[in-house]
Amino acid sequence: MSASDAIAAVGPAQSRGVPTRGASQGPPGTGGRRRRPLSRREKRNLRVGLLFISPWIIGVTVFVIYPLVYSFGISLTQYSGMQTPTFIGLRNYVSAFLDPLVRTSVGNTAYYMLISVPLGLVVALLLALAMNRNVREVAIYRTLLYLPSLIPMFAMSFIFIVFVNPQFGIVNQFLGLFGMPDTNLLGEPRYAKIVMIVMAQLGAGNTALIYLAGLRNIPDTLYEAARIDGASRFRQFTAITLPLLTPTILFNLITGVAGAMMVFTEAYIMTNGGPDNSTLFYMLYLYRNAFSYGQLGFASALAVLLFLFGMVLAGLIYWLSRRFVNYDVSAG
């Protein structure tokens, strides 16, 4: 039998609904088809693929999933890290809601987040717009604007301690030009968090690079059409740049909120939570309970609550993003 005869013989059988070899009838409501088993080649490709991503799977399991499960288990116990954990149920969570220092640390962290994150998004966007200028020296500008973000936070904290020194710090010398007296900015509860918020903006270079990638992804033809229509630069920014940059803004917002929730290093080095607990952030209080007070069970409960709150907040931001995030490149 020739190949054409075989095709002709198979065709009418399929048209009459006769199942061919390799096809299987599935249960009603599934379209009459059942998912076919993987072939030998597909199984081999699956094994090879799993082998290549196994480092990622092992890393997530060891450094993410296991710590989460272990922390939740420890949060239900009284444990100092030395003796055997004693199961106490939800007592640590009840203590967390009743502890006044937890409320203080949550308030300080929320204050830092609500000011630092929006300010950081604006500062990073301005830096990205400067990096996106079509000038010959733009590479130098990008390097200079990005360099501060390469300084580790612990080193930046020590640098800022010198900057805001009430006797010889450059900040007080600058404020003295306007007739303001020397002030111990890190020793005043109303100024200490402001100093840390300002210091955080020096790390806006990383966020600015992400903004820059988003800006470079916007087609120039949209700006050319807007200029032909007589749109001003401000109108181009509000009608083209900002709407098409909203996916990047959403990403930077999520990462900024996550970073603000875990602020720790600057408070630990510069003020150690003072003065008057004005910089006692949530992570710093968690650290104290775990490694200074030996209350690993209570600290694990705080970590679990932080994780749950972060997940809820991220979900809320994603839900609200449907109203302002625009993925259509032809919008504007």
Q: Please list the pLDDT of the chain residue by residue as tens digits (332 residues).
A: 444 444 344 444 444 444 444 444 555 545 556 778 888 888 899 999 999 999 999 999 999 899 999 999 999 999 988 888 999 999 999 999 999 999 999 999 999 999 999 999 999 999 999 888 887 888 888 888 888 888 888 899 999 999 988 888 888 888 888 888 878 889 888 899 999 999 999 889 899 999 999 999 888 899 899 999 898 989 999 899 999 999 999 999 999 999 999 999 999 999 999 889 999 999 999 999 999 998 999 999 999 999 999 999 999 998 988 888 887 754 44
pLDDT at 32: 52
- Cα(123)–Cα(117) distance, rounded to whole angstroms? 10
pTM of the model: 0.81
pLDDT at 166: 84
Classify 32 in phi/psi space as left (phi over 0), alpha (psi -120 to 50) or beta. left
- Cα(165)–Cα(153) distance, rounded to whole angstroms? 18
Question: For residue 77, what are the β-bridge partners?
Answer: 87
- Picking from 60, 106, 93, the residue whose alpha carbon sits closest to that of residue 304 is 93
